[in-house]
Copies of this chain bind each other. A is one copy, B any other.
Amino acid sequence: MVAQKAKVTIFDVAKASGVSSSAVSYALNGKPGVSDATREKVLQEARKLGWRPNGAAQSLAQSRTRRIGLVLGYDPQLLSVEPYIMRLISGLGSALEERDYSLLIRMSMDDDDDVSILEDWIATGNVDALLLLNLEIGDPRIDLMKANPQMPCLAIADASLTGGLPTLTSDDAGASGTMIRFLASLGHRNIARVAGPEELGHSYIRDAAFSEITTELGIRYRCLHADYTPESGADATKRLLSVTPRPTAIIYDNDVMALAGESVASMKNVSVPDELSIISWDDSFMNVAAHPAITALGRNVLESGRLAAQLMLKLIDGEEVEDVQEPPYELVERDSTGPPPRSKFAAHSQR
């Protein structure tokens, strides 16, 4: 494990072929300037010696790195708590692989770090394009990328947050309506929500949509902001269950908090779905494995990842990219939702 073993170079190939190194270079790169016989001979010797193009030299020559950059915020709790990021990476990776691209990941320790990693990539050209996730309102990364249009960049976020950058966007406002109307159709008139962190862009979009639609439908709505962890989801659930009149349905902004909420209900002998309906925003194996299995608003995150990769490859190729919608949310009805409790319980909860 000391110095790297010398690679086979074009000089080795030149020596073996009995021609000059520039002739080898022409031959290997498919350029004119050598006879067909020489080209054939060179390719033969190159194969025999096991010559392979040098990655860095090739990058320089093509000014392509064949890498897409992704900065992940270093919050082990948040990163590992949800299957979302890993699914997105799976989708990205599989689509990039079709073009021999790879994903270059760096971990940012704080917001400043986030920006400085992007600055470094822009300055050094270490990646061909960038993907931005988890945008906050007024995110400094947007200005940075707008000031550097030479670096292709795609954001996964609501288009209202991305200042005109190419965006893969999801219809969170529409999805909020889907869930509220589903619960309303079951008869619920008193709905609560355990949301993600208030400063995240998509929390903001969802908050606005929930207020608006519940007001429009005349439904009582309250919201507590948590941080996606099971502990915060459990705490919020305990508080919501102690309110009078108790909400008859709770929507959780992720699957982990929904599972934690269902456990709190079980501990407090609040029967799901007879006394409380539960919906998870984002579907995963956790909702399937829970008992009762949790109704969820799912979407194909893998497909989002693939789509994001394809859009970035288009940007790299110099094509125009319009804002694109993520695969739509779909409500998967399971056992955790039903009509609200009847008057007997309602009277009980309002005593």
Binding site for B on A (CB under 8 A): 1-5, 7, 50, 52-60, 63, 65, 67, 72, 74, 76, 79-81, 83, 85-87, 89-91, 93-94, 96-97, 102-109, 120, 123-126, 149-152, 166, 229-231, 233-234, 256, 259-260, 262-264, 266-267, 284-286, 288-291, 293, 301-302, 315, 318-321
Contacts and interface: CB of A to CB of B under 8 A. Distances in A.
Nearest to A148: B5
Nearest to A58: B124
A90 B267 CA distance: 33
Contacts of A293: 263
Contacts of A266: 291
Nearest to A83: B80
Nearest to A107: B93
Contacts of A4: 63, 125, 150-151
8 contacts: A56-B56, A76-B302, A80-B284, A86-B86, A93-B105, A93-B106, A263-B291, A263-B293
A118 B163 CA distance: 40
A124 B66 CA distance: 13
A320 B149 CA distance: 45
A91 B104 contact: no
A274 to B, nearest CB: 16
Nearest to A317: B1
Nearest to A97: B107
A87 B79 contact: yes
A28 B151 CA distance: 25
A289 B291 CA distance: 12
A74 B102 contact: no
B107 A94 contact: yes
For A54, A231, A266, A319, which residue has the most chain B Cβ atoms within 10 angstroms? A54
Contacts of A105: 89, 93, 102-105
B2 A318 contact: yes
B104 A285 contact: no
A230 B288 contact: yes
